[in-house]
Amino acid sequence: MNSFFNDTDLQCHGAVMKEEARWIREKVMAHNKWFEESIPMIASENLMSPLAKEMLISDFADRYAEGLPGKRYYQGNVYVDEVESKAVDMAKELFDSSFADVRPISGTVANMAVLFAFAKPGDTITTCALAQGAHISTAEFGAFGQRGVNSVNYPFNTDNMNLDVDGTIKLLKEVRPKVAQFGLSVFLFPPPLKELNDTFNEIGCVVWYDAAHVLGLIAGKQFQDPLREGVNILSSSTHKTFPGPNHGLLLGSNLTEEQEKALQRAVFPGVTSSHHLHAMAALAVTLAEMKVFAKDYASQTCKNARALGQALYELGVDVLCPDLGFTRSHAIAVDVSKFGGGKDVSKDLEDANIICNKNMLPKDTSAVRPSGIRLGVQELTRVGMKESEMKEVASLIYRVAKKESPAKVKEDVKELKKGFTKIQWCFSAGEPAYGYHKLVP
């Protein structure tokens, strides 16, 4: 494992590493190695490029900035301001949006900023339910509930894993929400925004799209383009299909100046103080890279997801929505009831070095014993896997589901992964994808 320090370096610096620090470092190194030898399929994760990762250990990591470029509360932000302004410009350009804020420190924090700016306690927001694949931040016990908004769920069609259009139009007209919110964590198909546009205009609601899972696909123009389909405000994480740092992003279109200011005030001082400048710089690098690589990366990601769905389906596994090609995104949902349910299957897969999560499907009532697993291919695509590897991955998953010894399957997982440990689709393509790397100064 290539790393920043070795023990000799530390001794040269006159320090002998103490037991606890050594222990922690060893655990992190063990994690690096484990993931290098694994097939990571959590749909909300990705690998940053080495150039972006380098930003995380720059001096930006140790500094503070509050407010907006040129209007800070602290000195020392000369270069920070330049990088942040550039990041805002690149985000606007890549997503063709009239507004961008790169300061939210995660997708949930971006969502909290939207709530602060556009909803007061007691206001109504329409959204999807957790069992339909929504994110915890929109739940009663998540950020929505804690902001005190009254959330109402759309009618959902489990056959096509999407909103029931007529039912949704009827609901919007009845409830007349202040904000209509869209976007999922089990995000297989684009919601029918175009069909809902007349209704949005009729009731005059703010239209909010949570793109956390699909931002990279939107950047590569391989999913719907929400800002061209009636959406006013887009919130997102920047580390799922968009392969940047753990951070957040807000984009907007057709917002009034007052609404833009309300969002900026909600970000600071509403839900952040300093905004993790190193992550902001890493986001800026990733934006520059995605201007070049988004289309090809997103296109291969979507092809891989469908290939994985097809391969599992042909093995007799119940992948959702076979008639619709399983998915239009990076992820598929699989009903593993007949193999013992999501909890057991995801644990066995972990023992075979295949990392995924159990997930509720629409029919489920229990989040701890759901019948599904969710599989994302964006990270495997990032290290160069294509359709033929998806077939191999499907067969490894199937063997575990059929109760072959996970320890035995793990050996084949490691063998397959050996050929896929280098990062692709970025300026530093070909560098090691896991842990540290030679670009570290």
Ligand X SMILES: *Cc1c(COP(=O)(O)O)cnc(C)c1O
User: Nearer to ligand X by C-beta: 43 or 394?
Assistant: 43
46, 49, 77, 108: which one binds ligand X (CB under 6 A): 108
User: Nearer to ligand X by C-beta: 183 or 384?
Assistant: 183
Q: Which residue is nearest to ligand X (CB)?
A: 107
Shortest Cβ 236–ligand X spacing (Å): 8
- As beta bridge partners, residue 422 has 432
Q: Is 135 an interacting residue with respect to ligand X (CB under 6 A)?
A: yes
Instruction: Give a three-class secondary structure readout of 383-431.
Output: CCCCHHHHHHHHHHHHHHHCCCCHHHHHHHHHHHHCCCCECCCCCCCCC
38, 41, 44, 396: which one binds ligand X (CB under 6 A): 44
What tokens does 319 get? Answer: 């992948």
User: Nearer to ligand X by C-beta: 361 or 401?
Assistant: 361
User: Nearer to ligand X by C-beta: 276 or 410?
Assistant: 276
Q: Is 212 an interacting residue with respect to ligand X (CB under 6 A)?
A: yes
What tokens does 229 get? Answer: 């389909």
Q: Read out DSSP for 371-382? A: SEEEEE-HHHHH
Torsion angle of the four alpha carbons 46, 50, 51, 53, in this order, in degrees rounded to the nearest 10: 70
- Give the span between the Cα atoms of 381 and 433, in whole angstroms: 12
Q: Are strands 71-72 and 67-68 parallel, antiparallel or unpaired?
A: antiparallel
User: Nearer to ligand X by C-beta: 212 or 281?
Assistant: 212
137, 151, 181, 286: which one binds ligand X (CB under 6 A): 137
Q: Which stretch binds ligand X (CB under 6 A): 55-63, 103-111, 117-125, 340-348?
A: 103-111
20: part of which helix (H) or strand (E)?
Answer: helix 19-36
Q: Is 222 an interacting residue with respect to ligand X (CB under 6 A)?
A: no
Question: How many CA atoms lie within 13 Å of 136's alpha carbon, on the beta-carbon side?
Answer: 7
Shortest Cβ 142–ligand X spacing (Å): 10
- Give the span between the Cα atoms of 201 and 197, in whole angstroms: 6
- Give the span between the Cα atoms of 108 and 240, in whole angstroms: 13
Binding mask 173-192 for ligand X (x = CB under 6 A): ----------xxx-------
Binding mask 240-279 for ligand X (x = CB under 6 A): --------x-------------------------------
User: Nearer to ligand X by C-beta: 30 or 136?
Assistant: 136
User: Nearer to ligand X by C-beta: 65 or 143?
Assistant: 143
The one-character DSSP state at 137 is G
Whether residue 168 contacts residue 196, with contact meaning beta carbons closer than 8 Å, is answered with yes
Shortest Cβ 226–ligand X spacing (Å): 13
Interaction site with ligand X (CB under 6 A) = 44, 106-108, 111, 135, 137, 183-185, 210, 212-213, 237, 248
